[in-house]
Each structure stands twice: as C-alpha cells, then as structure tokens.
Amino acid sequence: MDTLHLRSFDWMLVTLKDYEFFSRGVTQISAGYQQSACAQSVYYAPGTTTDAERIRSILKPLNMDFPTAEQVQPYASQIASGMGSLGLYRFESDGEIWHIRNQSMTDWSSPFERSQWLLLALTGKGWVVIHKVGSVKNALAVFPFLNGDHTSRQIVENLSGNEEGIALLQTLITRNLVEKREQHRLELHEIPEFLFLGHSGLLVRSGEDILAIDPVVTPSTRALADESLPIDAVLNHASAILISHCHWDHFDYPNLARLRRDMRMIVPRVKHPSFANPPMGPYLRELGFTRVEEKEPWEVVTLGNITLTLAAFYGEPFGLNSQFDGFTYYVKFGEHTLYGSVDACYNEDGDMENVIEKVAGLGPIDFFLFCSSGQKHEPAFYAANLRHFSNELIHRPELVRYHPTHLDATRWARRLKPRALIPYAEFLFQGERSPHIPMSAVLDQKNIGLDGIPATHLSWEKGLHTMARGLDLPIQLLHPMQGLVA
C-alpha cells in the first residue's frame, strides 16, 4: 500500500509584517527569521525580528563589547525613525548604563494569534511563500499524517472539516514536497537503546518504551538516518517527548509539527512568564498538542522500563533578568543510566554545583552527556536577544559566557563518576553515516573516539582531549543518527 511521506526540506513561519520588509530588501533572510515562530520570538510584536536585524546593522560599527551611552547616542535617532523602522525599540540611558528596549506587550495564552503568518520553504530559488496561514494549529495539523503511515485518502479523512490543513496538503503535493512510498513496518527492537539525533537531541529505548529528548532533526541529520528506521516514524512511536527548555535549538517547532498531537509532552512549568522565560504549555497547545504535562524540577516520571528524573537547570544567561525554567535530566533505561547537563552552568539565580551533587546521589551513571563549548555573547551588548541591546553586563562580565567549558564539565565528572563521557550540544547537525557502537566498546575500554569533529570546532576538540586524559575516562563523539546498542 502506498502512503504519503513528507520530504525533508527547510521551512519556517514568518510574520506577514516581517516578510514585507525582507521581500523589499530592507533586511536579508537570517537565522533570526528562521527562529521568528519559536518560543523565544513568537510572543513579541510582529516585525520585531526585522527591527532587531535593522538595529544590529546600524550598531555594527560599534565593534566592542561595552560601548558607552555617549558612543551609542549618535545612532538613537536612526534607530527610532530611520529607514525601515517599525518603532518597536526605544533608546534610554541612566548614567553609564544604556538600553535599546523592545516595547512589545503580549498575551501569554495565545502566542500565534496576534500575527498573520506565512509558511516559507527553501527551494532552488531561495525562500518562497507556499502558504498564507490563517490558523497555525489547523495548517500544521497535516504534518503528523505525512510520516509514511497514511494514504492520501486516510489523511483527508483525518483532516475532515479542516479546510486549511487540506489546502496545505494540496500545496505540498503540488510543490513535490510529498512523495508516495510503500508502507514500511517499523520494528521497534531495531532502534538502538541510545540514539543521538544531533546537537542536544537524543532518544533512549528499553523494550517498547521510548523517550526522546530535545529532538531537533534538520534535513542534514535526516539524510543520515537509517532508511529502515525513518526518524519521523521512530519519534512518533515514543512514549513521551521531553523538552529541557524553551530555546529554539531544543524546542524546535518544525520538528515538533511532525509529531502526532496526542504525544505525551513533558515540559518545565513556567512560573513567571517573561520574554526570557516564555510559557511552553500554551505554545504546544496552540500547535494542537493535547497531552502537555508541565513539571517541576526533581519530579520523577516513569515510562514503563524508563525512569526519568527531572533535575534542575541553572544556566544560559542572556543579559540581566534572563533566568528561565528548565531541566537537566537523569535517565535510567533498562540496565543503563545517563545524565545530560544540556547547556547548564550558572546564571543570576545560582550554579550547577549543588545540582551535580544531588544527581550524584541518584545512583550510578554510565554515560555523562555534557556541553563544553564555552560560548560567549559576541558582542556582549547583544546578549539579551530580542529583549534589548545594552551594556548592562559591564558590571557582570562573568555572565558574558553562557555555556560551560571543559573545565566545568571535568569538575562535574569528578563528582558524578560516570563510566564514559559523551560530548554534545555543539550544534553538530551534520556528520557521516556511521555504524552503531556496542555500549561495551565504550564502557569497557579507555578509548578516545573523537573522529569527525569539523575544523570549525578544533578548540572544542582540544578541550575534549584534555578532559578525557585528565579524567582517564573513555569519551565517544557520536555522529547524528548514530547510536549505542546493547
């Protein structure tokens, strides 16, 4: 039986107001536009992405981390009313500290309703509009049915009454973004017990129980997947999806849109919503998800043979007052365990030292997954993302770095005493199609498996070698879609 399968392609949602500006050449398509419908951006006033891109261009001559108010003042009038200005940012100063603040007001319950959205796809002619979105929920409802399990007739039946979803389906077919395939039966026992999805994404399996964490699966990573284990089908068989925090590289709407809407979604409970800490529950519900569970740190979730402990998260400062609710995680799957520290390190509220101490008491750890990129805000006055531009970190220079280093990860590993190290969270979405590795080959040997790190990451690679030698532990870099098997 032939079923419909969504091809792998880049797409994004962009507000109509933003599209009007870059279609006239005021700005260029950039990562900011590709993230304009993510939880970090969607709550701002329409056009914020364009105004922020414009301001970055205006301030580019200030090639320093902490320009003074006097150095920024000459640009203030151009920021407020220059060509292409939407008037969403306002310059203000208080002595030596200055801000260019976004003026957005928001309703935290309805992230998509305040804007008109366009769905753009990347083609040989660049980014083109393929659908004007009336309801994000209705339009994107078509995607879960395009994972190779449904015929065109079944999809139309499932979308009965959803005219916009059916219209988008016809558009995707017309543009050759959907293909017919013979229906494939997924064998769950063929899925590795641990599968790296790329960047910070991973999946663990014990028997028929599957937990996926932060699944960001790009077209480049999809190309590396085993054809016998199509990744959309694998993810849609998960018992639950855990999202560690609200940032776009963990809470990825283009990939989440492919998931069945009755998927069990586990996210942090956002206690004090803000632009730095946007609510995740309403965002998922407006995408159509019906089983959203908002949890607190140190709650325990049981998924059959998988036990998930939601550890606390301190880290990723993006300017002052940028704390957010998030999780690191301790997972027991079958006979194995792992701890993932994601991007955590420290923020204004605290640091990870006490968290690491508490995780060490949860039980033995086979695999310690860690970030050690040491990334910094460059220039530092961009640190607050879309909230504002400011030199406010001049008195808190330690907050310019927002990711841990290999020295932090080494210190934590000494306390956690894992059997092996797995580096991740380094924006590696590409790699080589690589065979899965037996867990025993990693756990029982003192190997250093760091082949395949690209030239752009050489300083990171050097830190990993230093860390592995200092700890005398095996370390294994995994390529996207490469796994560990029992």
Peptide bond connecting 74 to the previous residue in cis, omega within 30 degrees of 0:
no
Helix (H) or strand (E) holding 467: helix 458-471
Question: Left (φ > 0), alpha (ψ -120 to 50) or beta: where does 422 sit?
Answer: beta
DSSP H helices in 74-217: 76-81, 136-140, 152-158, 163-174
Three-state SS for 261? coil
β-strands 420-423, 367-370 pairing: parallel
pLDDT band at 323 (very low <50, low <70, confident <90, very high): very high
For residues 26-38, give the mean pLDDT.
81
Q: Is residue 235 part of a domain?
A: yes
Residue 364 banded pLDDT, cuts 50, 70, 90: very high
The C-alpha torsion from 108 through 112 and 115 to 116, rounded to 10°, is: -170
**What percentage of the chain exceeds 70 in pLDDT?**
99
Binned at pLDDT 50, 70 and 90, residue 245 comes out as: very high
Tell whether the model's pLDDT for residue 288 goes beyond 70. yes
For residue 226, the model assigns a pLDDT of: 84
Residue 206: inside a domain: yes
**340, part of any domain:** yes
Distance CA 419, CA 484 (A): 14
Contacts of 395 (CB under 8 A, 6+ apart): none
Question: Nearest-CA neighbor of 408 among 346, 364, 320, 458?
Answer: 346
β-pairing, 336-340 vs 367-370, is parallel
> Does 55 fall in a domain?
no
The model's confidence at residue 234, banded by pLDDT at 50, 70 and 90, is: very high
Mean pLDDT of 190-209: 97
Q: For residue 446, is pLDDT > 90?
A: no
Highest mean pLDDT among 7-21, 52-66, 286-300: 286-300
Structure tokens, 261: 């809407």
Q: How far apart are CA 289 and CA 239, in angstroms?
A: 14
Instruction: Please state the rounded mean pLDDT for residues 298-320.
Output: 98
| b/e map 416-450, b = 16+ CB within 10 Å | bebbbbbbbbbebbebeebebbebeebbeeebbbe
- The predicted structure's pLDDT at residue 119: 97
Q: What band does 112 get if pLDDT is binned at 50, 70 and 90? A: very high
- The answer to whether residue 279 sits within a structural domain is yes
Query: Helix (H, G, I), strand (E, B), or coil: what is residue 367?
Result: strand
User: In whole numbers, what is the pLDDT of the chain averaged over residues?
Assistant: 94
Backbone phi, psi, residue 337, to 5°: -135, 155
User: For residue 73, which phi and psi values (nearest 5 degrees)?
Assistant: -50, -40
Q: Please report whether residue 470 resides in a domain.
A: yes
Task: Look at residue 210 and give its three-state secondary structure.
Answer: strand
Strands 475-476 and 448-449: parallel
Give the model's pLDDT for residue 26: 57
Instruction: Read off the pLDDT of residues 119-171 as tens digits, 9 standing for 90 and up.
Output: 999 988 889 999 999 999 999 999 999 988 899 999 999 999 999 999 999 99
Q: How many structural domains does the chain have?
A: 1
Residue 375 lies in a domain: yes
pLDDT recorded at residue 366: 98
The label of the residue with tokens 């998960």 reads 238
Where helices occur in 25-162 by DSSP H, the ranges are 31-34, 48-59, 69-72, 76-81, 136-140, 152-158
CB–CB of 445/453 below 8 Å?
no
What's the rounded Cα separation, in Å, for the pair 430 and 223? 9
pLDDT at residue number 317 = 98
Q: What is the pTM of this model?
A: 0.96
Q: Given a cut of 90, is residue 207 above it in pLDDT?
A: yes
C-beta of residue 4 within 8 angstroms of C-beta of residue 155: yes
For the beta carbon of residue 200, count every other beta carbon within 10 angstroms.
25
11-25, 43-57, 368-382, 398-412: lowest mean pLDDT where? Answer: 11-25
Q: Is 21 or 193 the better-scoring residue by pLDDT?
A: 193
Pairing, β 209-213 against β 97-102: unpaired
CA distance 346 to 326: 12
CATH assignment at residue 329: 3.60.15.10
- 159 contacts 166 by C-beta, under 8 angstroms: yes
Domain of 458 in residue numbering reads as 189-485
Query: In terms of Cα–Cα distance, which of 327, 313, 321, 311 is closest to 277?
Result: 321
What mean pLDDT is predicted for residues 405-432? 95
Within-domain flag for 45: no
3-state helix, strand, coil in the chain (%, to 5): 30, 25, 45
> Across residues 375-389, what is the average pLDDT?
97
Distance CA 99, CA 195 (A): 44
